[in-house]
Each structure stands twice: as C-alpha cells, then as structure tokens.
Amino acid sequence: GAGVSQSPSNKVTEKGKDVELRCDPISGHTALYWYRQSLGQGLEFLIYFQGNSAPDKSGLPSDRFSAERTGGSVSTLTIQRTQQEDSAVYLCASSSYHTGISGNTIYFGEGSWLTVV
C-alpha cells in the first residue's frame, strides 16, 4: 500500500479480554516496528521485525504481549488479559532495508487507540 495501514483505528475492550491489533506495512518494506504511546507520553519501543531474522522483543513489557509477522508482511500485536494500564495508542511503522538515509527512514501508521475499561 501507499502508507502503513493499521486497524482498528479505535478499540474499547473490557479488562481481562484479549485484543489483536493489525499492521500492514508499506509494500516492499522488510522492517516493521511496534511502539506504544500512553496519554501525554513519549514513544515506547515494543518489538522490531527484520526480514526472516529473529525479532527484537526487548521492549515488550510483559508476557501478555506478543506479536507475529506472517509472510514477512502483515503483523499482529496481541495483548492478552488486558489491563487498564494497557490503554494507549499503539503505533506501527516500517522501513526498507537499504543503505543510506532512505533505507533508514521509518514511516508510521495512524495508530490504534486502545481503551481498556
């Protein structure tokens, strides 16, 4: 696609439920990132996928969070047994894997706003 696409745009869920957030990166981009932004806060890195390499999961806050990337394209971030502190905007981004600044520029989607009630 022309840009990074995320769905749903907004999600309200009850505490304890599981949620799935989807990200479709820019066509041809091999790198995909998930970030979390709580209200009024900066961006917190969650996970990074690059091609067929093992993902960098160092930012996942707990084992309730997981992500997968199927076929090297679409990614799903899953939050199990949601808690109120999980309420945030979840931003997905992608980049190509070429040298130079074009290959190192990361483009973001519009985010998925998650509210846990």
Tokens of 7: 């769905």
Amino acid (one-letter) located at 62: S
Give Cβ neighbours of residue 52 (< 8 Å, ≥ 6 apart): 72
25 belongs to the binding site for other proteins (CB under 8 A): no
74 belongs to the binding site for other proteins (CB under 8 A): no
109 belongs to the binding site for other proteins (CB under 8 A): yes
Task: Answer yes or no: are the C-beta atoms of 81 and 16 closer than 8 Å.
Answer: yes
Q: Which stretch binds other proteins (CB under 8 A): 14-22, 43-51, 65-73, 77-85?
A: 43-51
* Shortest CB 88 distance to other proteins, Å: 11
Q: Which of 7, 13, 50, 76 binds other proteins (CB under 8 A)?
A: 50
Which residue lies nearer to other proteins by CB, 21 or 31? 31
Task: Answer yes or no: are the C-beta atoms of 105 and 32 closer than 8 Å.
Answer: no
Angle at 78 between CA 5 and CA 94, to 5 degrees: 35
Strands (E), 39-95: 44-50, 65-69, 75-79, 88-95
83 belongs to the binding site for other proteins (CB under 8 A): no
Chain residues binding other proteins by CB under 8 A are 31, 33, 37, 41-43, 45, 48, 50, 56, 59, 89, 91, 93, 100-101, 104-111, 113
